[in-house]
Structure formats: C-alpha cells, structure tokens
Amino acid sequence: MRRKKSNKLILIIIVLVLLFIVGVGIYYLLNKKDKDIIKEDKNTMIKLNTLEEANTFAKDKNIKININYDYSDTIEKDKIISQSIKEGDSLKDITELTIEVSLGKLDKEKLASDGINELGRVPIMMYHGIREKTKNSTGTVGGNVDKDGYNRTPEAFKKDLEFYYENGYEMIRLEDYINGKVTAGYGKSPIILTFDDGNEDNIRVTGLDDNGNIIIDKNSAVGILEEFKKEHKDVNVTATFFVNGGIFNQSEYNDKILKWMVENGYDIGNHTQTHLDIKKSSSDRVQKEIAYVYDELEKVIPGKYVKIIALPFGSPYVKSHDNFKYVLSSTYNNKTYETEAALRVGWEPEVSCFNKDFDKTFLKRCRAYDNNGKEFDIDMVFNSILKTTKYISDGNPDTIVVKEKDKDKLITTDKKIITY
C-alpha cells in the first residue's frame, strides 16, 4: 500500500517536472518569437507621417534622406505625401530614403503678401581669416582685424551669424546654388558663406581625442559654425573653404581635416597653389597651379570636393583675358580638370540662379566687413541693397515663384513656375 502511494507520488512529481519543462520551453519559444518580431520590426520600414518623424527615423537608421516638396490640396503642410520605401519593406542594405513633403494648399495671395520672390538677389559672403586683433590692428573698424577688413574677429563672426539668422537668412551650399537647388525654408532667404586662403584659423586643430578624431578650436571659423549648429538646430549650417597648396597649413592634420569637413556638411574648393595672380602669370603657371590643388584634393577626398575656384585677388577681373579659359578647363601633365564655377572678390549680392543673367563662371561676392555702412560693407549690403531686392524662398526647391511681370527674366528650366 505504501509502495503504491510512493509510486503515485513519484509519478505526480515526474508529471509536474515535465509540465514545468514544457512550460519553460513554450515560454522561451514565445519570447524568442517576440524578440525575433521586434528584431525584424527594427529592420522594417514604417509609415512616416511628418517631416520631423522622417528626419528622426533616418538619423536612427543611419539612412540618407532626400526631401522633395510639393503643394497639395489634401495633405496638410509638413505632412508626408509619399515615401520611396513602402511600409513593411526590409531596410536591409538600404542607404537612402526619398520623401515628398506637403507645402499645403497653393495660395497665390499668400505668396504675394509674404513677398515670395525667387528672382531676388543672393549674398555670397567672402571671409578670410577669423582671428583676434593684435597690437598692429590699428585704424580698424568694428569687427575688422585689418584696415581692409579681410579678416574678422571670432566675436564679430559670431555676431555675423546671429545677424543673418535673425534677419531670416539660411545657409545653403554654394554647389547647390550654382546648380539651381535652393533649400531655404518658406519665407527665408538663402545666404552662402565662403572662406579664402585655407588659413589655419579657418579650422584650427588642437589635437586628437582618444578615438583619433580631430579636436577643433571653438574660436576658429568651423568651431564657431559648429557651436552655432548646436544652438540653431532648425537651420542648415555650411560653408565652402577655398584652399591653396598648404591646404589648412597643418600638415600633421590636413588629411583628417579634409575628410572631416566633407563628412560634416562643408565643401572644399580651389584657390590655386600659391594664391596666384592669374592676370600676371603665364598660361603654363596658371594651369600648373590649378591642376596641383585639384590633384591634391583628389588624393585625399576623391570626388568629394567641389569643382569651384575662388580667383585670388579676383584676377583676371574680366572673362575676356587669355588666361581665363584655363580657369575653366585644361589638361596638364596628362590630367584633365574641369571647373564648374569661379568666384570674384567683390562686391555686391549676386542675381538669382534662376535669372537668365546668372553666370556661374564669374560670380560676385560681398566682403564680410564693417565700414560704417559704406562701400558694400555688411550694413550696406543687408540693410540697404537687399532690403527690397533679396531672394525670398517658397520653401520648395522644385518650384520657382516670381511675380507675373518678371517671368520673362527667368532662365529656361524644367522646374514648375508659379506666378502671382
């Protein structure tokens, strides 16, 4: 009798153990399935509803996002009309996502009342060094370090950036501009920043961190731009730097600097090997110096630099000069170079890239300096010249909005033209 009870107890224990094992197994399998689903979900496209949501998603997935805009009678402003990757599709091997964002209903009366004008003028600002004043900085005005105002103090440059921001200007890439892509937001005006000479104070490196990344002096031009980027997350921050043969005159770090720059939204262009006066030089020397810089950039950042030249001294001053053709293209030492655009030194805002008078091979710039509101200084350019003539964007890079009376000034284009 006792043996039967003992056997029965053992049987019950065995059954309970088996049930426990089965239960644990089922629990494990269910959880594994849930985890697999979660894992799968993390690699699957979701439906995006807003531009903010899309930007966050692309950043989290390390995917490049391309944004197109269009007016819509049915989709609210800033909501997404379409996305190139469908909901539920795998994100494996995906590196780019294109979305179309609504600008809301097309309202021509609003365009007119807001002064939208994409035939307005655009300031291409010319900077050189960003440095503190010295005992030799005598007779200077405002934030100028030298009498001619080619160099600015760090504090003045910070104020310049805030001034542009407060007056509704948004930085865009020079390369985008010369190719007819204006990315400023609705009601905003594009501005382009350029730096000549590849001065050390454009991006001064103070050392490397534990991971081998460059540490940038916060009072250099790029250091100031990066701090501005942190403080103003609602706008793009970019600039084009034109270098000579010494690149940024930091031989130990030059390669790392170039790579960091193009990976972080900045562009690098050509300023000749020795800051050559093209008008006064032989054709052979002109070709040699331009080819040299292109060749050096190709070695370090192949295909990632811009094919744009800032003309040293603004020389040769006229396109008819014999040497100018070598600025645009040539073959030197069996290597061919092509230049998309060339920048002059002075002096006023450039016409819209959609104006039929626009010539990207001979662009005007504005010197970023103080001169009591005279001789095309910052005050004169922004508070006088641009006050009634500036480019004001409709926020859509794929459309051009102009006044009906001005449409005959437009270039021939595939973009949609909207008049009011």
Tell me: the pLDDT tens digits for 248-303?
A: 999 999 999 999 999 999 999 999 999 999 999 999 999 999 999 999 999 999 99
Greater pLDDT, 142 or 41? 142
Average pLDDT, integer, range 188-201: 98
Q: Which two tokens stand for residue 390?
A: 């500036």
Task: Let me know whether 258 and 375 are in one domain.
Answer: yes
**Domain containing 331 — which CATH number?**
3.20.20.370
The tens digit of pLDDT for each residue in 146-170 reads 989 999 999 999 999 999 999 999 9
- Within this chain, do residues 262 and 378 fall inside the same structural domain, yes or no? yes
Reported in sequence order, the residue ranges of 203-355 that DSSP labels E, i.e. its strands, are 205-208, 214-216, 240-243, 267-270, 308-310, 329-332, 335-338, 341-343
**pLDDT score for 40:** 42
Domain residues for the domain of 138 are: 111-419
pLDDT at 111: 95
Q: What are the structure tokens assigned to 149, written together?
A: 């105002």
* Higher per-residue confidence, 18 vs 357: 357
**Is there a domain that residue 220 lies in?**
yes
Residue 80's DSSP bridge partners are 101
Q: What is the pLDDT of residues 106-142, one digit of tens each?
A: 999 999 999 999 999 999 999 999 999 998 888 899 9
Same domain, 132 and 98: no
Amino acid at position 234, single letter? D
CA distance 406 to 419: 9
Q: Categorize the per-residue pLDDT at 65 as very low, low, confident or very high, splitting at 50, 70 and 90.
A: confident
- What's the CA gap between 46 and 145, in Å, rounded? 53
Q: Tell me: pLDDT of 28 over 70.
A: no
Please state the domain count of the chain: 2
Peptide bond into 312 cis (omega under 30): no
Under the banding of pLDDT at 50, 70 and 90, the label for residue 59 is confident
Residue 250: predicted pLDDT: 97
Please indicate, yes or no, if residue 2 is contained in any of the structural domains. no
Mean pLDDT of 362-366: 98
pLDDT of residue 37: 42
Burial tier of 184 (Cβ tally within 10 Å: 0-12, 13-18, 19+): buried
pLDDT band at 36 (very low <50, low <70, confident <90, very high): very low
The total of other beta-carbon atoms located within 10 Å of residue 99's CB is 22
Residue 69 sits in the same domain as residue 119? no
179 and 101 share a domain? no
Do the domain assignments include residue 263?
Answer: yes
| 110-126 as b/e: b if 16+ CB within 10 A | ebeeeebbbbbbbbbbb
| Residues 158, 220: Cα–Cα separation, whole Å | 11
Q: Are 70 and 189 part of one and the same domain?
A: no
Verify that 377 and 316 share a domain, yes or no: yes
CATH number assigned to the domain comprising residue 62: 3.30.10.20
Q: What is the CA radius of gyration of the chain?
A: 29
pLDDT band per the 50, 70, 90 thresholds, residue 4: low
The tokens of 396 are what?
């859509």
Q: Which residue has the higher pLDDT, 65 or 111?
A: 111
Cα distance between residue 231 and residue 225, in whole Å: 10
- Quick one: average pLDDT of 229-248? 95
Looking at the fold, whether 131 and 276 belong to one and the same domain comes out as: yes
Answer yes or no: do 269 and 371 share one domain. Answer: yes
Same domain for 152 and 181? yes
